[in-house]
């Protein structure tokens, strides 16, 4: 690295005007970097506030279609949808997840019929559908990896049959990307994109999300036997490489800000499309601090997203997406 010495070199020369700062800016954030996660619920013409996630709602299908149209108009390239499954439809085996008429499948069909241009991402995991809140099937008190794979493959199949563009397996079972990719090839769907949660940590920052999908009260036990240890980095690289080898087209690091080092390492060492998920806890912390007057909401929102770009992320899943898009669009 070249660095001059004072007074011949004065780095502040490049900072004195907005236009000079723009000229030498190393990273940029655009609307095309954004993915907007949305929550869907049963019913008609209704929305419900999520108390632990200020300004985030659950929408019925008719209203979530309107949100999809809003995203498209703002230039956001893709949305990700997550269901609040009614308690009576949850089971030990998560059967509702493989029901082709479940809430997610009906939502995908509605969105693609009315806003076909927007990319639709579906979560592949069983936790919205199990009464124990785990991402997989339990056998002898343990989340059984291989028993879960068949259910995940069936879940992925009903989602792509409904019109899903991108499958995002978040379950962290070993071998699930390979199993899903094999199914897609066999079913004549080779062009379906898999964006895997390759490095998903057993994090304390997921709490508000579980409120949003209604799994907080049903979750029995932790997820440390399949989600990653927050102390590990080399393990994340192994997970990412395995998912790439199994047929993933892009990967996600989740959470985002506490794991900027993982994003940077993956992008520098592997040069592979990598997305950051600014999770519910990150979002809610910024909102809460701003509500108390401790942070400027807009500035901290934009700064937090630029951190992901600086670390090398190809794009960002964020609940701030519509607000950020409006600001970037001027």
Q: Which residues are catalytic?
A: 200, 254
Instruction: State how far the Cα of 241 lies from the Cα of 283, in Å rounded to an integer.
Output: 29
Instruction: State how far the Cα of 312 lies from the Cα of 200, in Å rounded to an integer.
Output: 17
Residues 6+ apart with CB under 8 A from 35: 76, 77, 78, 79, 80, 121, 275, 315, 316, 317, 318, 321
Rounded-to-10 torsion of CA 252, 258, 263, 265: -140
Token pair of 272 as six digits: 């592979």
Buried b (16+ CB within 10 A) or exposed e, 64-73: bbebbebbbe
The sign of the CA dihedral 220, 221, 225, 229 is: positive
Question: Do 318 and 283 meet the contact criterion of CB atoms below 8 Å apart?
Answer: yes
DSSP string covering 180-217: HHHHHHHTT-TT-EEEEEEEEB--GGGHHHHHHHT-TT
The widest CA-to-CA distance across the chain, in whole angstroms, is: 72
Question: What distance, in Å, lies between the first and last C-alpha atoms of the chain?
Answer: 36
Q: Nearest to residue 303, comparing CAs of 288, 318, 281?
A: 318
């Amino acid at each position: 690295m070249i660095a001059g010495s004072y007074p011949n070199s004065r780095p502040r020369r490049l900072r004195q005007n907005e236009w000079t700062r723009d000229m030498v800016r190393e990273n940029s954030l655009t609307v095309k970097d954004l993915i907007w996660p949305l929550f869907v619920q049963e019913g008609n013409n209704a929305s419900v506030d999520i108390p632990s996630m200020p300004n985030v709602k659950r929408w019925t299908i008719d209203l979530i279609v309107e949100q999809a149209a809003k995203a498209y108009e703002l230039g956001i390239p893709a949305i990700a949808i997550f269901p609040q499954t009614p308690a009576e439809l949850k089971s030990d085996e998560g059967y509702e997840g493989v029901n082709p008429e479940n809430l997610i499948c009906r939502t995908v069909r509605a969105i693609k019929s009315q806003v076909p241009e927007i990319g639709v991402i579906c979560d592949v995991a069983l936790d919205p559908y199990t009464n124990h809140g785990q991402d997989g099937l339990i056998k002898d008190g343990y989340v059984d990896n291989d028993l879960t794979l068949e259910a995940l493959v069936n879940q992925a199949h009903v989602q792509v049959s409904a019109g899903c563009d991108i499958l995002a397996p978040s379950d962290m079972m070993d071998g699930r990307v390979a199993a899903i990719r094999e199914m897609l090839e066999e079913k004549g769907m080779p062009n379906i994109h898999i964006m895997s949660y390759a490095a998903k940590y057993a994090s304390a920052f997921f709490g508000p999300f579980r409120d949003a999908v209604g799994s907080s009260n049903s979750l029995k036990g932790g997820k440390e036997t399949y989600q990653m240890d927050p102390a590990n980095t080399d393990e994340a690289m192994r997970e990412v490489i395995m998912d790439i080898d199994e047929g993933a087209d892009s990967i996600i690091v989740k959470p985002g800000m506490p794991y900027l080092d993982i994003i940077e390492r993956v992008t520098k060492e592997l040069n592979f499309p990598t997305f950051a998920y600014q999770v519910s806890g990150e979002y809610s912390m910024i909102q809460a601090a701003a509500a108390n007057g401790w942070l400027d909401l807009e500035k901290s929102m934009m700064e937090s997203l630029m951190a992901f770009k600086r670390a090398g992320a190809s794009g960002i899943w964020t609940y701030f997406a519509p607000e950020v898009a409006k600001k970037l669009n001027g």
